């Protein structure tokens, strides 16, 4: 490895707390935010008091300070720190810093320094950790986990967790310890200066985990595995003292350990042939290691992924979601179906392979499917910086009663969309998806060529706040202004805005005659017909000629330089 690469990695790891981005998390929308400030002036001065008085789905927002506490979480909440460098939870060398126990699944914790857990042992067992997790499907993201005499994170038969974008260092046993833990995602972490970076040597069930885009650097031992069927790709293994990774024979189940390794960087690989992963009776090879480490981009903003990941080939992906139907909206469902069918047909004829189009239709479009499944599908299938992503949402939208942190809305309220509900006559606030939460999902993607289409009422609110869908590398098209409704076609079973988008995608929006349909041209094409038809339709329906005004946010190729157009369809091919 080149010395300059090592120097850059070490420099950037030191800078890690200030440049690492916030990854997305599955967040339960709630009208209730509980504030904690150790200086007073908030709802509580102790985090545990706030948790003890919280309800399912509440967000607990913690202001900067040092909180000497042992946190016990037994309810599904969102726990957010103001700034991970300055919002510190310190166990004062006693017990776990944070214990997450059943039935508290889907807990989200982000934005903290977690430090100084205890060193409790009993009968040879080791217990204390920065995080001790006994429940499932939690999100531990964008934290600094440091200075633990045993473990940074300890998974006890815990599955489906997302542990991402954390700095995990100075743990005397292991940064992450598996005591049985299948189907977890561990990605985009820097794991350094621990005895073992990640250890799964004591686990009887450590299968189906995905470990990607982590950097293991300057640990005594990098990654240690017993079990099989884990996917380990695009990680950096650099200057770990004893070995970078090993995969031993599984003595618990008396069979070899065999995992899938590919495209990792190894500083001890000689540059020819596969990289053997050492271990007793190990059958593990990285068949296609990379020659250079994945380098942090020091100029990345928080809206970009921390790794530069580009293969020079543009693959086209699409996520199409339509969920405005339901028992009380049968004709809405027919419009959704017609719009989806036309969009899928056009995209498939113009470079989007069938298996690169992900659809959620009506009852499939749950909160979890929209926030988790669709974005995991993109990430797990390898979307990268070069790729083009077409995201379309058609459903019910409104505005929230508040602007939850981060406070960024000019009108003082966040916007929301509602997933499918069999009876939309009574909206369920527990299912709302808030604009800031969806924005974090897009910020976690690598692609720098994203077109987002929001067809909802009050859609303009999705581009009016600093933490909304706006960002570099994307164009956002919305069906109407922040105080407007999105209408339908009178005599054709289509929605108004999607109908003209479809016509534009067929080639009618090519205003400059360059034989390309761009995202910017697509919006320009819709404005006049949508304005005209909405005025006529609303006058006929209500006697008031309200106008629907489609809007655009153009951040391609960057917010500062957006004179170019994001090209979608080549009309010549």
Among 86, 81, 49, 82, smallest CA distance to 65 is for 86
Beta strands (DSSP E) in 365-482 are 388-394, 396-399, 415-418, 433-434, 449-455, 474-478
Q: What does the block give as tokens for 450?
A: 């994203």
- Residue ranges of alpha helices (H) inside 323-393 are 330-349, 367-368, 374-380
Q: Is there a contact between 216 and 240 (Cβ–Cβ < 8 Å)?
A: yes
Distance between CA atoms of residues 451 and 476, nearest Å: 6
Confidence (pLDDT) at 182:
85
Q: What does the block give as tokens for 429?
A: 């606030």
Rg (CA), the chain: 25
Distance between CA atoms of residues 554 and 287, nearest Å: 41
Confidence (pLDDT) at 404:
78
Distance between CA atoms of residues 377 and 433, nearest Å: 19
**DSSP assigned state of 370:** I
Q: Who contacts 316 (Cβ-Cβ below 8 Å, separation ≥6)?
A: 347, 351, 352, 353, 356, 387, 388, 390
User: Residue 333: phi, psi to the nearest 5?
Assistant: -60, -40
Q: What is the pTM of this model?
A: 0.52
Q: Is there a contact between 155 and 162 (Cβ–Cβ < 8 Å)?
A: no
- Distance from first CA to last CA of the chain, Å, rounded? 43
Distance between CA atoms of residues 437 and 78, nearest Å: 12
In b/e form, how buried is each residue of 350-381, taking b as 16+ CB within 10 angstroms? bebeeebbbbbbbeebbbebbbbebbeebbee
pLDDT in tens, 262-307: 889 999 888 888 888 887 766 788 988 988 888 643 233 222 333 3
How many Cα atoms occupy the beta-carbon half-sphere of 102 within 13 Å? Answer: 6
Q: Which residues pair with 320 in a beta bridge?
A: 359, 392
**Which 3 state secondary structure label does DSSP give 415?**
strand
Q: What does the block give as tokens for 221?
A: 């031992």
Q: Which residues pair with 185 in a beta bridge?
A: 162, 210
Residue pointed to by tokens 């761009």: 518
Q: Is the dihedral of CA 17, 23, 27, 29 positive or negative?
A: positive
How many Cα atoms occupy the beta-carbon half-sphere of 408 within 13 Å? Answer: 17
Confidence (pLDDT) at 295:
66
Confidence (pLDDT) at 86:
94
Element containing residue 10 per DSSP (H, E): helix 3-14
Distance between CA atoms of residues 475 and 556, nearest Å: 6
Distance between CA atoms of residues 117 and 429, nearest Å: 37
Burial of 337 by CB count in 10 Å (0-12 exposed, 13-18 middle, 19+ buried)? middle
Q: What does the block give as tokens for 346?
A: 């056009």
Q: Which domains does the chain have, with CATH numbers?
A: 3-286 (2.160.20), 316-562 (3.40.50.1460)
Q: Is there a contact between 509 and 560 (Cβ–Cβ < 8 Å)?
A: no
Confidence (pLDDT) at 444:
81
Rounded to the nearest 10 degrees, the angle between the axes of helix 330-349 and helix 496-503 is 20
Mean confidence (pLDDT) of the chain: 85
Q: Is there a contact between 495 and 488 (Cβ–Cβ < 8 Å)?
A: yes
Distance between CA atoms of residues 256 and 281, nearest Å: 6
Q: Is there a contact between 181 and 204 (Cβ–Cβ < 8 Å)?
A: no
- Residue ranges of alpha helices (H) inside 350-385 are 367-368, 374-380
Element containing residue 542 per DSSP (H, E): helix 519-542
The CA dihedral of 346, 349, 350, 352, to the nearest 10 degrees, is 90
User: Residue 33: phi, psi to the nearest 5?
Assistant: -120, 130
Distance between CA atoms of residues 344 and 493, nearest Å: 17
Distance between CA atoms of residues 522 and 505, nearest Å: 7
Where the chain has pLDDT below 70, the residues are: 1-31, 122-125, 202-204, 228, 249-256, 281-282, 295-312, 326-330, 421-427, 490-491
Confidence (pLDDT) at 30:
45
């Amino acid at each position: 490895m080149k010395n300059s690469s090592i120097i850059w990695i070490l420099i950037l790891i030191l800078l890690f707390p200030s440049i690492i981005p916030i990854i997305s998390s599955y967040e339960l929308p709630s009208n209730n935010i509980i504030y904690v400030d150790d200086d007073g002036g908030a709802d509580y001065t102790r985090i545990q008091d706030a948790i003890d008085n919280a309800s399912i789905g509440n967000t607990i927002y913690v202001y900067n300070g040092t909180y000497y506490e042992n946190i016990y979480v037994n309810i599904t909440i969102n726990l957010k720190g103001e700034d991970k460098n300055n919002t510190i939870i310190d166990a004062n060398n006693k017990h776990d810093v944070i214990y997450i126990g059943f039935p508290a699944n889907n807990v989200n914790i982000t934005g903290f320094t977690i430090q100084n857990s205890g060193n409790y042992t009993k009968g040879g067992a080791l217990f204390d950790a920065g995080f001790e997790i006994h429940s499932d499907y939690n999100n531990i993201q964008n934290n600094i986990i440091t200075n633990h005499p045993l473990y940074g994170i300890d998974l006890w038969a815990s599955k489906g967790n997302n542990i991402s974008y954390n700095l995990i260092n100075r743990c005397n046993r292991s940064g992450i310890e598996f005591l049985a833990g299948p189907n977890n995602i561990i990605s985009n972490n820097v794991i350094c200066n621990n005895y073992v970076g990640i250890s799964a040597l004591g686990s009887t069930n450590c299968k189906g985990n995905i470990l990607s885009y982590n950097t293991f650097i300057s640990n005594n031992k990098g990654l240690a595995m017993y079990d099989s069927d884990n996917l380990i790709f695009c990680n950096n293994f650099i200057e770990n003292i004893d070995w970078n990774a090993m995969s031993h024979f599984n003595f618990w189940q008396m069979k070899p350990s065999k995992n899938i390794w590919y495209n990792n960087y190894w500083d001890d690989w000689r540059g020819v042939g596969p990289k053997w992963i050492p271990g007793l009776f190990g059958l593990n090879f990285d068949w296609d290691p990379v020659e250079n480490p994945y380098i942090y981009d020091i100029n990345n903003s928080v809206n970009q992924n921390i790794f530069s990941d580009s293969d020079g080939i543009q693959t086209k992906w699409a996520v199409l979601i339509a969920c405005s139907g339901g028992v009380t909206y049968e004709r809405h469902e027919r419009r959704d179906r017609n719009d989806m069918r036309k969009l899928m047909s056009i995209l498939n004829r113009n470079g989007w392979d069938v298996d690169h189009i992900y659809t959620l239709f009506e009852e499939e479009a749950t909160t979890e499917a929209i926030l988790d499944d669709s974005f995991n599908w993109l990430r797990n299938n390898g979307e990268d910086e070069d790729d083009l992503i077409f995201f379309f949402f058609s459903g019910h939208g409104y505005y929230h009663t508040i602007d939850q942190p981060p406070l960024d809305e000019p009108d003082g309220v966040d916007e929301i969309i509602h997933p499918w509900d069999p009876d939309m006559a009574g909206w369920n606030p527990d299912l709302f998806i808030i604009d800031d939460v969806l924005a974090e999902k897009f910020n976690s993607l690598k692609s720098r060529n994203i077109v987002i289409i929001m067809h909802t009422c009050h859609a303009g609110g999705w581009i009016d706040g600093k933490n909304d869908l706006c960002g570099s590398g994307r164009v956002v098209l919305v069906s109407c202004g922040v105080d407007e409704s999105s209408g339908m076609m009178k005599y054709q079973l289509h929605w108004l805005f999607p109908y003209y988008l479809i016509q534009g995608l067929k080639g009618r929006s090519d205003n400059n005659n360059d034989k390309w349909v761009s995202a910017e041209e697509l919006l320009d094409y819709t404005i006049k017909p949508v304005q005209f038809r909405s005025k006529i339709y609303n006058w006929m329906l209500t006697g008031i000629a309200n106008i629907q005004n489609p809007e655009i946010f153009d951040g391609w190729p960057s917010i500062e330089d957006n004179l170019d157009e994001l090209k979608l369809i080549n009309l010549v091919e």
